[in-house]
Chain A
Amino acid sequence: MSCPSKHVEAKEDAALPATGREFWRSLDELSQTPQFQEALHREYPRGASEWMDDVSRRNFLKLMSASLALAGVYGCARPEEYIVPYVVPPEDQIPGKPLFYATAFPMGGYGLGVLAEQHMGRPTKIEGNPDHPASLGATDAHAQASILSLYDPEHPETPKEAGEIRTWTRFFEVLRKELDAKQQTGGAGLRILTETVTSPTLISQIQALLKQFPEARWHHYEPACFDGARAGAVQAFGRPVNTIYRFDLAERILSLDSDFLLLGPASVRYNRDYANQRRVRTGGTGILPVVSSPQEQKHGQDARATMSRTYAAQSAPTITGTMADHRLTMAADEVEPFARAVLAQVNGQSVLDHPHASFIQAMVADLLEHKGRSLVVAGEYTSPAVHAIAHALNGALGAVGETVVYTEPVEVHPDAQLDSLKSLVNDMNGGSVDMLLVLGGNPIFAAPADLKFREAYEKVRLRIQQSLYYDETSFHTHWHVPESHYLETWSDIRAFDGTMTIMQPLIQPLHQSRSQHELLAFMLGFPDVSAREIIREAWRSRAPQGDFEAFWMRALEKGVVEGSAAPVVSVTLQPNAVAPAAQNDLSPAGAAVSGYEVIFRPDPAVWDGRFANNGWLHELPRPLTKLTWDNVAIFSPGTARELELENENVVELAYAGATVEAPVWIMPGQPEKSVTVLLGGGRTVVGAVGKGVGFNAYLIRPSSAMWHGRGLGVKKLEGRHYPLACTQPHQMLEGRDHLRVHTLEEFKHIAGPPEEDPLVPEPAHGKTVHLSFYPDRPEPDEWLIGTHQWGMAIDQNVCTGCSACVIACQAENNIPVVGKDQVIKGREMHWLRIDTYYRGEAGAPEGPYFQPMLCQHCEKAPCEVVCPVEATSHSIEGINEMTYNRCIGTRYCSNNCPYKVRRFNFLQYADIKTPTLQLVHNPDVTVRQRGVMEKCTYCIQRINSTRREIKILRGDAVDAPAEVQDDVKLLVDRLMDRLQTACQQACPTEAIVFGDIVYEYANGHNMTVTQLKTEPHNYGVLTELNTNPRTTYLARLANPNPALGGLNDTSADDASVEDTSAEKPTAHDAARE
């Protein structure tokens, strides 16, 4: 009876007489049948007119209102709120044209100003913000990789209660009830644990909460915190201060176990400043000027013949140490006595009984000679005493106010982080914590082992955590609520110098996540405020007087709140700041303790473990070891011999009553009898990417030895083998001259007056003897007029190996992650790699030195002639192009590439199935199929985009008068300047310079890249093969102290300093070949 019309027909049939004699008795009788009644009353078919009665009408209204509500919901996750793009106003989204928005990448609580690139509503790439003091336009590897974390398909999607999916509403109900109960007791038993916090709004929210709940407490802890620096400042000056180094002014630098080029919130900025003092140029003349004053010494076109000199005393190998002109390797606990000896020498006391006495004497003389221009940098993870001594040294060297600036602290929490965590654990154990809110961080994984955080944590009645991932802590938590990625929400943050950035989102949250601000606002009793409103309201009170909207727009546009840097403070050294240690301070402090020294360091890529689900970072070859995918225990060659260890052996490390199994990696430059253990591996509750990667070094990291300690037990586990994925197993240069190193003196000799014999032979000047089968490229004026000729110069003298370029290239060019087993097989896909070489004898090598290696774009490319299907060919602009669609994958090109920069998709590496991971791809670059060769293209998509713009400009102005043409020329100049490859843009030291080698600016000058190619220390790699590479390198220069001789010393005693100086002729011979 579903169809009423049929029903009516049936009725009519029934009304007809079955036989001729049977009549219906009356119309009434007929019409009284229920079927007829229904047919009569139903205008519409059954089901369509149910709304006639009351209940159905209500349903109708419900449905309509739901439809209306749903009409406002649409699939695209573009931000509904107003955010302001950087520079180019969004008059309209031009399809295919990206927009850039200024925001900041938070790392360890500090912000790095970035511009996030957005393609039609989805962020795809992170670039540095030139207006931000920590970035100056550059980025580091973590910032580059953060875009992948945004799209991580394994982000938690909803709140969870003990692992069960819940709604935010339910969570808020529970939280409201709890808070209402807490209100009675003033918040007794309520604790908040955060990571390092510099966000002004978050701090004010927490403070407001503490005001509302006076009995509540705020704790903070981050596994790689800078407690030493903080305590050192307190020890030296009686108060915490923020120390800012001015490497751009420093001519003599002493690093006391510091890795300022890699660690800390200012490392990107420090890279830039440091490089500016290391860059040596003849200004395109090929001849060094006799005199060059510091004032006219800037990079780029200006000539300068001086460079800073760096001394590094270090324990765990650092990239700062590799850049140093003199390096002393020592155990971590020898750094403090060494620093004391330096201070004693500066103060005129005798240090003759110190093992490095002669080194210290020569160095201190040099430092004192450059008073006011020398700088002592204490290590990020050294003891407070070293920091205090460094402060004292800087005072004695006249550095304060010159090369060192002290400001108000950026972090406002009154306690040191370790103390803060300890008191929380004590209280939890004491039962006085009733409810704990963990905002970010993963303390169960990363808290010092001896605190037994998990046991204490489980004593808390209600445990709530908000974090980006569902991690080890979430596993033991009652309520886990997802936190928004920084590109998904509003916030604010401060940089290393206190400069504030208002962070704006690029996309609506992909999952049901909220920001910490929103959670705290709810707790403060503002349940339905969006993060944007919270930030805006907070800034309304913070903004300077005047037009708030103008301030707001300007702050968002620039990515920087102007004038928000922390104020400079003047400090005075406390009288007892550098009180000598109780025992004989010139001997290693813990020499009496048996066993080895353990040194803990965060992994350069996955850091403290927070990036454990980021494939790009896992697969990033670590700057010094070139290892991917695992954290290791690093041994020196001598210690490894002593313990009969080889790479990939497994050792059992016993420390502070716990043991852990760790794979072995042997590395020159590691101090003897010390073992560097990298943190960050061994995550257990993590996504598929991070599962089974590395070992958990936190298990043996006690609060008493956060960064180093004596008494490590090392036991080799016989017969065990742990494969490690190293992208460059061979790091010796084998006497070859692919990587050239000179001292500054030699360079001056090369760049001296022309009549002198040049030290470097012809090929280094870019000229080659004609030995080729093929004709030389014609001179530019014959056929290349009007075309671009792209080229690159890489200044190895300022390349610090930080590897930001590697990830930048990966993000820009959709380079896939291949996984550990594929890396072991030698199939990593990075188009740009950083070759790391040691030089000299295997026993006491120099280095390592870094050489970014990417497609050299040979003018006579060996790869092109051997491709049978013409898939790789040469463009008229000098680019060796790769036509993916044409490639059938014979791999002959890779065999015939002397630089081995070609990468092959041996399997289907690109993830083309996971929906969120498709979003991260750069739409301007092909995602490659398996069986296809790929390699660096000089970011051809960026070149094409610029070329298009130039063509449009010129085309528009083709009939314009001459003065307009001049303007057009200037605009073209600007476009050419703005064209950067992804690696170049990310490089903090501006070591990579790309451009048109025949381009002339309106003022007749050439581009920087052209000038660099005329430098006397410019050379091409393997030019003897007649490849004529378009990418050339500027030799690495060292500026050793003549009083010390050696170039770059890796050994701890003065004897081997002399030894390595004897190596020098070998290096020169290599260069001469």
Chain B
Amino acid sequence: MASHDHNLNPTGAPPVASREVLDFNAERAADPTKQILGPGHDYHSVTEKISEIVLTKHTGRGWIIGFGISLVLMLVLMYSLAVLLVVGVGVWGVNVPVAWGFAIVNFVWWIGIGHAGTLISAILLLLRQQWRTSINRFAEAMTLFAVAAAGIFPLVHVGRPWLAYWLFPYPNTMGLWPQFRSPLVWDVFAVSTYGTISLVFWYVGLIPDFATMRDRAARPVVKMIYGALSMGWRGSALHWHRYETAYLLLAGLATPLVISVHTVVSLDFAVSVVPGWHVTIFPPYFVAGAIFSGFAMVLTLTIPLRKAYGLEDFITTRHLDNMAKIVLATGLIVAYGYIMEIYMGFYSTNQYEVAMLMNRFKGPYALAYAALILCNILTPQLLWFQTIRQWPLVLFIISIVVNVGMWLERFVIVVTSLHRDYLPSSWGMFYPTIYDWGVYVGSIGLFFCLLFLFIRVLPMISVFEMRELVSRQKGKPQTSPAGQASRMEEVT
């Protein structure tokens, strides 16, 4: 990131990195599709545009309808969970042999979706990808909400949720710790760490913007709330210095988590002896799949939002194009994973592996597998075409298709592997019940509820980073960090 260089060079000499970026931008300035910020924006317009969405008294009709629907879905979740807790996990369709069903499918799906945020925030930050600026806040929030949605499932899917805390290593009178050989224990650590880091990273990133909101808010109560959240941010050079260091360190911390979380989640399966789960390619293939679905979800959310709030200048065609490219690339890795899974299965000549594959192709869930291939391998190939990549409507549809495909992938892995394993006597079927669907649809409701609240009360695009971008776009070397400068304007 460039801005910390500014802090270290108060003399105003343009930092090397910035110059590179500037050159890069200048090169593309002629082509509107290559821009990461619409033309004609200054510090004020950027700040105004983003913060207005939040600080206006007027709540849009679209927002109310969207939030209303989400709230209803969340009530479905609450009801389904209440029934689940009162009656038991038997209200779902799980059985023996398919002892894991929608809960685990949804868990893996949500965790996967949660990957894009951290990837955009941390890895793209470290890789100094400027275009991440306008989508990172939003993606981080999405991550957080996805992890929140995911976090429900491991908790409630156990038979006795009121004892789920036994998964944590805490000193207890039983003198017993969790069993560290079990991947489920690794899961607890991986997911809770990931959730914590995501939250901290997101919150730290929000602090300068909270200050902006505090300064711009008209009503005293709102001012107080944002003021408390901004933790006394004044925008001094010292603040910026500390802030940038902390942010960078957090990015460094978060980066391995992008890899570790889904690796651990994949080990839930790979460690077992179940044909279809016992696959060594699972860790990289799960991580790629997670990024694939995460970016698809960012696209799913971004495209309507930029339209609704007129943010085309901030989230430009180039953003969509870049994200589509990542979807395509990770989609190809996922496709490779599928092919290797099939190849290794047949190459092993292990009768159970072969039977498992044949069952995927021709068994009772063959339709799910075919749909999965269509969604995850064939559909993303459209993204080879630039026209498609820059066509928001088609991209939106493809992103939804990919989301569905990635859900199906987890369904195929969890259910088709379990339902016919070693002894034919124990083969069975899994049929989801209304409560399976209730919790699934409800978790989507929870996710969107949180998301709608987020876009209403918090700046969905990082204001200060956009101002930085403006400063670089204009080619004006700043004597002070971008955020500081703009705030000075406002204050005076």
Contacts and interface: CB of A to CB of B under 8 A. Distances in A.
B197 to A, nearest CB: 22
Interface string A816-845: 000000100111000001011100000000
A734 to B, nearest CB: 5
B178 A868 contact: yes
Contacts of B426: 728, 899-900
Interface stretch (A261-269, A695-703, A704-712, A859-867): A859-867
A870 B179 contact: yes
B158 A889 contact: yes
A929 B427 CA distance: 26
Interface residues of B, number: 51
B184 interface: yes
Interface string B79-110: 00000000111110111111110000000000
A904 B99 contact: yes
Contacts of A738: 422-423
B351 interface: yes
Contacts of B431: 825
B86 to A, nearest CB: 11
Contacts of B272: 862, 866, 892, 895-896
B163 interface: yes
Contacts of A728: 425-426
Contacts of B183: 866
A732 interface: yes
B259 interface: no
B158 A890 contact: yes
Nearest to B98: A826
A680 B169 CA distance: 55
B271 interface: yes
B184 A892 contact: yes
Contacts of B157: 890
Given A735-B351, A931-B160, A886 B176 contact: yes
A730 interface: yes
B62 interface: no
B255 to A, nearest CB: 27
A736 B351 contact: yes
A932 interface: yes
A10 to B, nearest CB: 61
A728 B97 CA distance: 12
Given A730-B424, A868-B184, A900-B426, A826 B95 contact: yes
A892 B429 CA distance: 17
B274 A904 contact: no
Q: Report which residue of A862, A890, A895, A1025 has the largest number of chain B beta carbons within 10 angstroms of its beta carbon.
A: A895
B421 A889 contact: no
B126 interface: no
Interface in B244-279: 268, 271-274
A826 B179 contact: no
A883 to B, nearest CB: 10
A892 B157 CA distance: 11
B164 interface: yes
B427 A888 contact: no
A975 interface: no
Contacts of A836: 425
Contact of A889 (B89, B96, B427): B89
A867 B100 contact: no
Nearest to A822: B90
Given A869-B166, A907-B87, A908-B88, A825 B425 contact: no
A933 B94 CA distance: 14
B428 A826 contact: yes
B178 A900 contact: no
A495 B176 CA distance: 55
Given A827-B90, A891-B159, A896-B274, A868 B99 contact: no
Contacts of A499: none
B184 A890 contact: yes
Nearest to A838: B424
Interface in A880-927: 886-892, 894-896, 898-900, 902-908
Contact of B274 (A826, A853, A895): A895
Nearest to B420: A730
Interface in B21-78: none
Contacts of A654: none
A825 B179 contact: no
A1022 interface: yes
Contacts of B421: 898, 900
Nearest to B183: A866
Q: Report which residue of B95, B164, B355 has the largest number of chain A beta carbons within 10 angstroms of its beta carbon.
A: B95
B95 A825 contact: yes
A1073 B350 CA distance: 11
B182 interface: yes
B237 interface: no
Interface in B148-192: 157-161, 163-164, 166-167, 174, 176-179, 181-185, 188
A903 B89 contact: no
B160 A906 contact: no
B418 interface: yes
A930 interface: yes
A953 B475 CA distance: 95
A72 interface: no
B424 to A, nearest CB: 5
Contact of B418 (A895, A902, A930, A932): A895
A127 B93 CA distance: 37
Interface in A225-271: none
B422 A868 contact: no
Contacts of B184: 866, 868, 890, 892
B427 A729 contact: yes
Contact of A891 (B99, B422, B423): B99
Contact of B422 (A825, A827, A1022): A1022
A906 B160 CA distance: 10
A837 B160 CA distance: 36
Q: Report which residue of A732, A851, A891, A932 has the largest number of chain B beta carbons within 10 angstroms of its beta carbon.
A: A891
A869 B159 contact: no
Q: Report which residue of A734, A894, A906 has the largest number of chain B beta carbons within 10 angstroms of its beta carbon.
A: A906
A898 to B, nearest CB: 4
A891 B271 CA distance: 15
A733 B431 CA distance: 24
Given A826-B97, A908-B88, A932 B423 contact: no
B99 A895 contact: yes
Contact of A867 (B89, B163, B179): B179
B424 A837 contact: yes
Contacts of A1025: 273, 422
Contacts of B94: 891, 906
Contacts of B177: 870
A735 to B, nearest CB: 7
Nearest to B351: A736
A951 to B, nearest CB: 25
B160 A887 contact: yes
A882 to B, nearest CB: 13
A853 B90 contact: no
Contacts of A870: 176-179
Contact of B159 (A837, A853, A904): A904
B182 A867 contact: yes
Contacts of A729: 427-428
Contacts of A886: 166, 174, 176
9 contacts: A736-B423, A868-B167, A888-B166, A890-B184, A891-B158, A899-B423, A904-B99, A906-B94, A929-B160
Nearest 10 CB-CB pairings of A with B: A889-B159, A931-B159, A906-B90, A826-B95, A900-B426, A907-B90, A891-B99, A835-B425, A931-B160, A868-B184
Interface of A: 728-736, 738, 822, 825-827, 833, 835-837, 851, 853, 862, 865-870, 886-892, 894-896, 898-900, 902-908, 929-933, 1021-1022, 1025, 1073
Given A886-B176, A892-B99, 17 more contacts: A730-B427, A736-B351, A826-B96, A826-B429, A851-B425, A868-B182, A868-B184, A868-B188, A870-B178, A870-B179, A890-B159, A891-B99, A895-B418, A898-B422, A906-B90, A930-B90, A931-B158
